[in-house]
Chains A and B, each alone.
Chain A
Amino acid sequence: MIDNPKIVVENFNLHYGKKKALNNISIKIPSNKVTALIGPSGCGKSTFLRSLNRMNDLIDGVKTDGKVLLDNLNIYDKNIDVVELRKKIGMIFQKSNPFPKSIYENVAFGPKINGITDKKKLDEIVETSLLRSALWDEVKDDLNKSGLSLSGGQQQRVCIARALAVDPEILLMDEPASALDPISTTKIEDLIFELKKDYTIVIVTHNMQQASRVSDFTAFFYMGDLIEYSDTKKMFTSPDKKQTEDYIRGRFG
């Protein structure tokens, strides 16, 4: 089904203390495609997303085993530099979280930390990132305005620009449009469609229609298990598992 995986997860387990949150997950995530993770609250989809850039390391009592191979390299190996890893993987959250700085500084923040000081180079990165996040035309004359002064949808696109500025290979999105109005949501969805040309995207969403609209592949999680993973068209027309069918039809529980 997937010829060119960017991420290969093999027998991955995750415990929060004694509670098992992910159970023996194996999945291949294709490059330059959008993969949606769906499932009811508490099913493990966000935990799984955060396992892909080792965000769960920050939580006390988390134990993992199994492999997450990014371009054939296990990101859970002891000698992996997590900061370097996270440079390759940008993350967008449900609630937009721009820094209390100007739009320009928000986008230039990552490159600056990575040691880029040349103003011309930074200008270029800011412009390219804002162009790619489909925000440039709206803010190009107000780059010194605070990021917090923008609308919710614009703030989310600042965060996407900020993630793109460090030139990642993968974008992880955790409910990126769930707090936005329908027009901003459409903009984010169109953006996701554009961005997959250059990035591998994994998105968690509660919105079934969003998953079916934006993704190429869909994975359904339930109680820590990966129940079904397939081409999105198949998942939303004739899924193999009854549990999947019941969930996407809204007949769960």
Chain B
Amino acid sequence: MQEHFSQEIENLKTNLIKMASIVDEQVDKAINALESGNIELCKGVKSKDLEVDAYDNLIQTQCENILALFQPVASDLRLVMSAIMINNNLERCGDIAVNISQRIKKAGNERSLISESQIIDMARTAQVMLKNSIESFIKNDTELASKVIAGDEEVDKLNKQIFNFLVSKMQSNNELIEACTHLVVMSRHIERMADHATNIAENLVFYVEAKIVAHSKKFQNFIKE
């Protein structure tokens, strides 16, 4: 019974890691295409998303089965709860990689706009956050997870700067409106990706330390333990 349970948990972790590596690859392709302007590099991002969605369903079913059949408690329960959340966040990151690729097809030729706007810096920062969040999950590394969580502010700041930059461009040259709009949306997608990476890291901390760190800054003045 115990072995059977451990096997289920191992399978769950393995599937999450496999899914994470596909998402990581999707994001890497999309951002490489953004950086180089070579749309060809986006090839396969959309088709891989089917695979990610299949893992999404598989992992959800696995979690449901574990909860129903084994009724885990304590750290086992936290692992399953975290797995559900991480799965969800990874699936969203896969979608975002597809969204970014689509925007590149529409605005990828605006090389000077892209490089001046710092959108590539932001994308690389968010990508590192996602990579680190996945690694923190694989290694149960809460220190690395904390680094990811701390990085979110930087991305939020960049997002605002990029937004302001693109708005001023649109104001000064209305021929750039369409491209800038695509880039505003793309920037928003990248900012969301960093949020998902943060969520993954927060769930890892919840699993390892039984502490809910999400929103903790906002609430520290409301709830005192």
Q: What residues of chain A have their CB less than 8 Å away from a CB belonging to chain B?
A: 208-209, 212, 236-239, 245, 248-251
Contact = CB atoms under 8 A, between A and B. Distances in A.
A135 to B, nearest CB: 29
A236 B74 contact: yes
Contacts of A237: 73-74, 77-78, 210
Which 6 A/B pairs are nearest by Cβ-Cβ distance?
A238-B210, A236-B73, A248-B73, A245-B74, A249-B76, A249-B74
Nearest to A212: B73
Interface string B63-90: 0000000011111111000000000000
Nearest to B76: A249
27 contacts: A208-B71, A208-B73, A209-B71, A212-B73, A236-B73, A236-B74, A237-B73, A237-B74, A237-B77, A237-B78, A237-B210, A238-B74, A238-B210, A239-B74, A245-B74, A245-B75, A248-B73, A248-B74, A249-B72, A249-B73, A249-B74, A249-B75, A249-B76, A250-B1, A250-B2, A250-B5, A251-B2
Nearest to B77: A237
Nearest to B6: A251
User: Which among A238, A239, A248 has the highest number of chain B CB atoms within 10 Å?
Assistant: A238
A251 B3 CA distance: 10
Nearest to B1: A250
Contacts of B71: 208-209
A248 B77 CA distance: 11
A238 B75 CA distance: 7
Interface residues of B, number: 12
A15 B221 CA distance: 53
Most chain B beta-carbon neighbours within 10 Å: one of A212, A236, A248, A249: A249
Contacts of B1: 250
Contacts of B76: 249
Contacts of A209: 71
Given A212-B73, A250-B2, 11 more contacts: A209-B71, A236-B73, A236-B74, A237-B73, A237-B74, A239-B74, A245-B74, A245-B75, A249-B72, A249-B75, A250-B1
Nearest to A245: B74
Interface string B14-46: 000000000000000000000000000000000
Nearest to A248: B73
A245 B72 CA distance: 11
Nearest to A208: B73
B77 to A, nearest CB: 7
A205 B192 CA distance: 48
A250 B1 CA distance: 9
Nearest to A239: B74
A245 B210 CA distance: 13
Contacts of A248: 73-74
A9 B77 CA distance: 33
A238 B211 CA distance: 10
A212 B73 CA distance: 10
Contacts of A212: 73
Contacts of A238: 74, 210
Contacts of B77: 237
